[in-house]
Structure 1
């Protein structure tokens, strides 16, 4: 997809006339089927990258997110934009609602899940039944032991990608040292190195 068509899609989907730094480059990498690590400053609309990609290719997107508040914000934003097929799987979801969502997971367009839940055996078996268009790791610096917000459950995400047959993957973070970049690339992108987009 050329730059003009992407800009037109941005206007139609989000009402913006131009991309913020790094967004278009990230989208073009994903549309070229490149595994991608995008390091974009806070406030540059990192979530737009996977939202727009999901709408452009019309395939389901799985987003690993570390904080319930982040998930809830993203779900609200997507619903505000008119997307009804969105769910957040976390401890705040009532048991009945969670079971319903898991039973009908293939019907959702955007699925948010915590790393702790995503790596549970039962959940993995359900996730494996879906042909994901994109696997997103938000706050990807949590993977790295060199990062300030290291979360041990994030170390299982490389294995989860393997279980899901290495779907196209986007790792997002606002900041990363060279050590953190290397750690993310090594631990998450097991089969091939990602394209790194850094602003």
Structure 2
């Protein structure tokens, strides 16, 4: 009588269904990890062009000058053309042109506040100042008035000036017709405070 030989039972037959599922999942995940490690890659750093900030730069030029002054921010300017000696009450006074230029790259609005020191500018019956936007400047210029009165009055209204633009001013100074005799031989210095703000 021949002996019956049973086939070899596979090793995994004795494992539960849950364990076999976990082993199968591990194989799948393992294949996924291998696939991820083998993926090719690329990177790129993107650099912008150069950024340049704009500028606000109000420059000035008096009639006797051949080039602009006050170039650069917060730079003082000597309006030396604007002076007078021997001025009398109700007289012609002094009148001088002053060119304002936007020397920056941004449009701005500017205004002027007039201050000063000395008896001739501080006395209520002392000097009067007139500022006019005008291509001509004479003793009788009144067109384009932006300031007229005593030193220390309210600042002018804002004037807009485009980048590279210019505006011609006429600045006049005269002694009040009612100036008292006590102002004889008195002196004063006037300061035109220009301020420009980007707009």
Q: Give the TM-score band, short-chain normalised.
A: under 0.3
Higher helix share: 1
Q: TM (normalized to structure 2)?
A: 0.23
- Mark the structure with the bigger radius of gyration: 2
Q: Which has the higher strand share?
A: 2
**What is the TM-score normalised by the length of structure 1?**
0.23
